[in-house]
Structure 1
Amino acid sequence: MSDDESYELLGFDNVLLCVGDLDEAVRFYGRAGFAVGFRLDEAGIAGLRVGAETPGILLRLEEVLGHRPPPWMAPRVWLEVADARAAARELTAAGIVLLDQPFAVATGWSVEIADPWGNILGFTDYTKRPELGRRP
């Protein structure tokens, strides 16, 4: 790129997570509170909505994974929620195992889960710093 050319980062498109079974992944993420925005089985993908934003979580089938974590480091994606401790209770009630109990962070509380392929999702709130959150 020459000095007179530049680009601007405008925001997120989608966060891609590789899974070994698309049906199982959609069921897991449905229990975790995600709604399916679209599903294209012929392409091996499903898009999950995240709030009112257009970008979301894109699940991509990688059959080679089967029912095991990938051989690479798993991504860690955190999403904002109104109350992470309430999210932890709802996730547990839905049969999802928490990686740990809710823990304090600088902005509030967080809790993490992992899908069957080792992708880690965190749910964090801004209860200590509401001015930084989406709903101050």
Structure 2
Amino acid sequence: MPGAGRSPTYSDCVSDDESYELLGFDNVLLPVGDLTEAVGFYERAGFTVGFRFDEAGIALLKVGGETPGILLRQEDGLEHRMPPWHTPRVWLEVPDARTAARRLAEAGIAPLDEPFPVATGWTVELADPWGNVIGLTDYSKRPALGRRA
């Protein structure tokens, strides 16, 4: 039970018999100000559109062969902005992040910074016009942990 002056939390209200299990990702939702512009940006960045439903203001970007993807959701009034440094990041595995960075540059998409080393390999991050940050990371230093092992 919550102590004096403390609001109850979810765990205060749920018994162990009612707990749940996380089964995996459904989709990652990213707010965008213009669906057509967003789809064009992500197609230039190498993403494939799984479906687009303009009446609902959504488009799904495929991520590998997985069913979940990145769901772009149009939010009226959302303007272009730079990402704040503390914005959440979604990192996706690629075979080679440094090659991905070169291809992004060829498509006119500037990364947030040069590719940088991480414990498993290399990562490059990009931001869409609304400040959503996507990282492309590889497992070149620890291939046994990657999907292509």
- When normalised by structure 2's length, the TM-score is 0.86
Pick from 48, 51, 60 the counterpart of residue 47 of structure 1.
60
**Structure 2 counterpart of 1:51, one-letter code:** G
Distance 2:132 2:16 in 1: 38
The alignment status of 1:59 with 2:72, answered yes or no, reads: yes
Task: State how many pairs are aligned.
Answer: 135
The alignment status of 1:23 with 2:46, answered yes or no, reads: no
Superposition pairs for residues 1-136 of structure 1, below 5 Å?
1-68=14-81, 74-136=87-149
SS in 2 for 1:59: strand
SS in 1 for 2:16: coil
Distance 2:88 2:38 in 1: 16
Larger radius of gyration: 2
Query: How many angstroms does 1:3 deviate by?
Result: 2.1
Any unmatched runs of 5+ in structure 1?
none
CA contact (8 A) 1:20 1:63 kept: yes
Distance 1:27 1:98 in 2: 17
Query: How many angstroms does 1:97 deviate by?
Result: 0.6
SS in 2 for 1:89: helix
Query: How many angstroms does 1:70 deviate by?
Result: 8.2
Any unmatched runs of 5+ in structure 2?
1-13
Change (3 A) 1:111 1:91: same
Q: Percent identity?
A: 75
- When normalised by structure 1's length, the TM-score is 0.94
Change (3 A) 1:50 1:109: same
Aligned residues: CA RMSD? 1.5
SS in 2 for 1:64: coil
Structure 1 residue ranges (4+ consecutive) displaced by more than 4 angstroms after TM superposition: none
